[in-house]
Amino acid sequence: MSSLLQYTLRIADSSLILGQRMSEWCAKGPTLEEDIALSNIALDLFGQANGFYEYAAELDGEKSADDLAFLRNEREFFNHQIVELENGHFGDTIVRNFLHDGFNFLFYTELAKSKDETLAALAAKSIKEVKYHLRHTSNWLIRLGDGTEESNPKVQTSLNNIWQFTGELFEMDEIDNELLSAGIAVDNASIKSEWDNIVNKTLKKAKLSRPEDGYMATGGKKGMHTEHLGFLLAEMQFLQRAHPNAKW
Amino acid sequence: MNETIFQKRIDAEKKIEPKDWMPDGYRKHLIRQISQHAHSEVIGMQPEGNWISRAPTLRAKMILLAKVQDEAGHGLYLYSACETLGISREELIQQLHDEKAKYSSIFNYPTLSWADMGAIGWLVDGAAIVNQVSLQRTSYGPYSRGMIKICKEESFHQRQGYEIMAQMASGTAKQKEMAQDALNRFWWPSIMMFGPHDADSPRTGNAIKWKIKRQTNDELRQSFIDKTVEQAEVIGLEIPDPDLKWNEERGHYDFGEMDWEEFWNVVNGNGPCNKQRLAHHKKAHDDGAWVRDAAKAHAKKPKIAATN
């Protein structure tokens, strides 16, 4: 697999898996308005995933976008681990997404400058949506953190639990470095300080404290996942697996 | 006196608006009907939501999700229309949870295969459209305008559902079997969506005279069947009704008798998924209580601009 293909798949996979998680909220939101917002975000993420998979399919030359989404196993998925975490309660979902949205916003802003024109165009399209996602999760984090005596400690616990999955977002491996020197990839390490700013500013408004950096999980980009992903894929892929030659 | 003026307005096809005088019975009938309609949109998210995580392609996933999102929007729209009659959304949801308010019986049937997404779009939305197109001319302004808005999206959904059915009916043997099975299971429940026969419809009352309803249950049902039978033929699926046949004289299809015992069971809470659907809605509502409380508490605090 070429580096560019793997790089593109990583982006597509993170969007798809987070979209899948968000779509699980359908008909479960705390209000009807929020149900619509969560579905809306899921839909944006599936749209982004679709765009990057189509490019990946082009780079692959044999598989279709749907083949890539529905016929790879968990060791062949390259999403960040944070996006595969289960939804938990609403606060868990907001924290998980906020941390990832902040990264995504900065990542796409940089990727829009990529020398690879397709990646740049897909990123430029995604920024508008991710901006909305970040605004949504930031506002909710503040509401929940600076809400009631029940909601503040609840969401602080979410933050403490999920924090270990943020380290991976800023890692650079040989694929990233190779494509960075070609002017294609984003320097993830370089967006960390701006991400820190966004996170610190929001946490302050939310009256939440930033957890210490302890053990940081890693491996998603190389196909090493948490135990959650296998179940997610089993559910997502079952029709394609059960009816290999069917068109839908 | 008021009553006479009101009826004159109705007869002259002038819309009734929220601030106009209206008979108590008219207001009550509308609250019941519009809230039932709103609850149906919201509960109706569940049987389809059931398949979003398992949709077979990226495109199918996006279409289904967009559809369910539209339904939530329709629910919101209808709750707003209902609130113009002087009742709050919270009260309406309470009535739903207390089983005082109903929702469409169709959503108490389970979705057991992907083909059910086709059947629901094609048949259930198809039946809803027949009903809603007729309600575009309903006498209460906010309801009528709601229907006009909603019908546009609903027709789109129906086409998408039919497309799923057509695709599966012309697919592999297994797919075709799934499509026929979905039609078999959803045909009669869809026919029942129009409610009891006119003669057994106690709640119709003044609804026709007040022009809340513009056509009777049986008229609407007939028009749905006439339309749908031909659509089934086009994609090579068989309607599960041995008594179905074209009646040259009437210019309509004759069809068999519905299982009214099943209908009343489902309406009265004893269908396959009644308990599950209501429990799901209550659980989401209860699980969200701390979130709504936090949002309320935060809204009362002095404003700080949100981050972005």
- Residues B232-251 have pLDDT tens digits of 999 999 999 999 999 999 99
- Residues B8-45 have pLDDT tens digits of 999 999 999 999 999 999 999 999 999 999 999 999 99
CB contact under 8 A, B171 and A35: no
Chain A residues with CB inside 8 Å of B58's CB? 16, 46, 49-50, 53, 65-66, 69
Could you give the CA distance from residue B117 to residue A237 in angstroms, rounded to a whole number? 17
CA angle B31, B36, B41 (to 5 degrees): 130
Amino acid (one-letter) located at A3: S
Return the closest-CA partner of residue B39 out of B286, B287, B282, B292: B282
Considering the entire predicted model, what is its pTM?
A: 0.96
The gap between the terminal CA atoms of chain A, to the nearest Å, is 28
- Residues B248-277 have pLDDT tens digits of 999 999 999 999 999 999 999 999 999 999
**Domain regions of chain A by residue span:** 3-242
Q: How much is the mean pLDDT over chain B?
A: 95
pLDDT at B304: 57
- Residues A190-210 have pLDDT tens digits of 999 999 999 999 999 999 999
pLDDT at B1: 66
CB contact under 8 A, B58 and A53: yes
Q: Choose the closest CB to B62 out of A46, A150, A239.
A: A46
* Pair A92, A161: CB distance under 8 Å: yes
Residue A113: Cβ within 10 Å count: 12
Work out the pLDDT band at B172, boundaries 50, 70, 90. very high
Work out the pLDDT band at B168, boundaries 50, 70, 90. very high
Residues contacting residue B177 through CB under 8 Å, at least 6 positions apart? none
- Residues B210-224 have pLDDT tens digits of 999 999 999 999 999
* Pair B55, B115: CB distance under 8 Å: no
Tell whether the model's pLDDT for residue B201 goes beyond 90.
no
Interface test with chain A among B298, B301, B303, B304, by most A beta carbons within 10 Å = B298
- B47 Cα distance to chain centroid: 12
Partners of residue B247 on adjacent β-strands:
B252
Could you give the CA distance from residue B38 to residue B77 in angstroms, rounded to a whole number? 8
Interface test with chain A among B89, B164, B290, by most A beta carbons within 10 Å = B290
CATH of A3-242, one of 3.30.40.230, 3.30.70.270, 3.90.220.20, 1.20.1260.10: 1.20.1260.10
ipTM of this model? 0.96
Tell whether the model's pLDDT for residue B305 goes beyond 60.
no
Chain B residues with CB inside 8 Å of A33's CB? 76
Interface test with chain A among B42, B61, B285, by most A beta carbons within 10 Å = B61
Low pLDDT (below 50) residues in chain A: none
Q: Choose the closest CB to B301 out of A30, A49, A146.
A: A146
pLDDT at B26: 97
CB contact under 8 A, B290 and A47: no
Calculate how close chain A gets to B294, using CA atoms only, in Å. 4
Percent over 70 (pLDDT), chain A:
100
Total number of residues shown for chain A = 248
Helix axes A90-111, A3-23, angle to 10 degrees: 150
- Residues B68-82 have pLDDT tens digits of 999 999 999 999 999
Chain B residues with CB inside 8 Å of A246's CB? 56, 171-172, 174-175
B248 to A89, B60, B227, B245, B252: CA distances (angstroms): 59, 40, 15, 9, 7
Could you give the CA distance from residue A230 to residue A218 in angstroms, rounded to a whole number? 17
* Pair B101, B194: CB distance under 8 Å: no
Q: Choose the closest CB to A66 out of B57, B66, B168.
A: B57
Tell whether the model's pLDDT for residue B307 goes beyond 90.
no
* Pair B168, B175: CB distance under 8 Å: yes
Calculate how close chain B gets to A182, using CA atoms only, in Å. 31
CB contact under 8 A, A142 and B53: no
CB contact under 8 A, A245 and B291: no
Could you give the CA distance from residue B112 to residue A193 in angstroms, rounded to a whole number? 49
Alpha-helix residue ranges (DSSP H) falling in chain B: 2-11, 24-43, 45-49, 58-83, 89-97, 115-119, 125-135, 141-169, 173-192, 217-234, 260-267, 274-287, 289-300
Could you give the CA distance from residue B22 to residue A1 in angstroms, rounded to a whole number? 71
pLDDT at B234: 97
Tell whether the model's pLDDT for residue B306 goes beyond 90.
no
Q: Choose the closest CB to A144 out of B114, B175, B294.
A: B294
